[in-house]
Structure 1
């Protein structure tokens, strides 16, 4: 059994800085400069993401006099949801040729995930990952845990078949885990269908 890697929600920056559509050129420029970011999301009053303004958009905004975020913004910035895997998010970044994806829920801005966020999670040391996985599985019978380049291999025996999926989910949530390779065996199959025995006459 192979479990997918962590999701965008586990690494994204929550409640990112944003500006309203009516923000002036100077305000947007100040936000980008003070926060040292390359782009800022534009939101409506109800929190809906309506666009994004980048440094490049500002450079094309002439002297900025009377110009607002609404006029400068890209009205279709690349978005993603929290439940998307990091691998899928990385592919989206590459395909769109951008440095960040805005995370939305029901159209509302809830976070932002950058290239740096996606890369940092994979730079964690294998020993550190293994130590945390062992802690996560401390309530289970002794299991063998091996980690190589972020890929976790689980070996050993658990009591119930259904326990495997629960443990895989726990391990996949550990920071730095790229993939879980479950080679666990089980003593009892609680997922098997009961055998129907016909009535005797």
Structure 2
């Protein structure tokens, strides 16, 4: 739920919950009920078909508050139906696959199914067929490394995947966290990583898969609203993690409405605190009363 950066004067409305979970007779009235007051929702959620008391049944539905959610892994987001080619696949066919499937690279696998390389768009942009191979002056050809020149010729004129592929492939495993994969992609400036189980190809993870994971993310719904004290404590810890000026920040929470006052050193610091508040579960609106410290010019 996105917090609004202003104080709300309207009565707080309850969070929507799907009515099928409660059944048609959860509350009196005609038709399905989409929203319920907090008290009634707690009572309804506390009931079980066997009449189990609320304090006994709640533990089985909600994980402990200090239990961190499981981090997303490569297995959660990777593309499993991956297109691959062999070392003998013609370059023209590989280019057709990239263009037809609208993908930027294909792994190259050997006869045993092991990953032996990858062919990406960057491997195919310097090609003799379209006249984009590098052209050197006569004196550069004289001074050039003969072995490097020969390898360059193979890459621009070779007709098989083994001629153009990048053989030193960085792979990922299914149990790698998305944080680890992102670190590898950034450090090595890669757009995708083949996923291997042992040496066998089982999928591929790309930057677009990470973007899709962001698009699928939804804030978790909570049946019992956190108390104002719990929300304030949560927000206070978040503010401590984003700014060294947290001692100059005063936070109060009333019925989900956060009031944040104090002094910060920069507008960026103030914005970070507001973002931290927006990401704190239970906050419905934000009153921003933070001031940016003026800097004297000597």
> Under TM normalisation by the shorter chain, which class is it?
0.5 to 0.7
Q: Give, in angstroms, the shift of residue 46 of structure 1.
A: 1.6
Alignment partner, residue 142 of structure 2:
none
Alignment partner, residue 114 of structure 1:
206
- Distance in 1 between residues matched to 2:178 and 2:116, nearest whole Å: 24
Per the normalisation by structure 1, the TM-score is: 0.60
Q: Among 179, 197, 203, which residue is 1:87 paired with?
A: 179
| 1:111-150 equivalent positions in 2, closer than 5 A | 111-124=203-216, 126-127=218-219, 129-130=220-221, 144=224
Query: Could you list the runs of 4 or more consecutive aligned residues of structure 1 that deviate by over 4 angstroms after TM superposition?
Result: 143-146
Alignment partner, residue 159 of structure 2:
67
Give the paired residue count: 135
Q: Please report the RMSD computed on the Cα atoms of aligned residues, expressed in angstroms.
A: 2.3
State whether structure 2 residue 170 is matched by structure 1 residue 78: yes
Q: Which has the higher contact order (CA 8 A, sep 6+)?
A: 1
Alignment partner, residue 118 of structure 2:
52
- Distance in 1 between residues matched to 2:225 and 2:89, nearest whole Å: 52
- Distance in 2 between residues matched to 1:121 and 1:42, nearest whole Å: 26
Paired residues of 1:24 and 1:69 also in contact (CA < 8 A): yes
Q: Give, in angstroms, the shift of residue 126 of structure 1.
A: 3.3
State whether structure 2 residue 74 is matched by structure 1 residue 8: yes
Q: Among 79, 86, 101, which residue is 1:20 paired with?
A: 86
- Distance in 1 between residues matched to 2:171 and 2:224, nearest whole Å: 39
Q: Give, in angstroms, the shift of residue 124 of structure 1.
A: 3.4
Rg (Cα) greater in structure: 2
Per the normalisation by structure 2, the TM-score is: 0.42
Paired residues of 2:173 and 2:197 also in contact (CA < 8 A): yes
- Distance in 2 between residues matched to 1:81 and 1:37, nearest whole Å: 21
Paired residues of 1:52 and 1:73 also in contact (CA < 8 A): yes
Alignment gaps of 5+ in structure 2 = 1-66, 130-155, 227-233, 235-298
What secondary structure does 2:97 align onto?
Answer: helix
Paired residues of 2:158 and 2:164 also in contact (CA < 8 A): no
- Distance in 1 between residues matched to 2:217 and 2:85, nearest whole Å: 37
Q: Residue deviations 1:50-86, cap 9 Å, x none?
A: 0001112112232276510001000012210000001
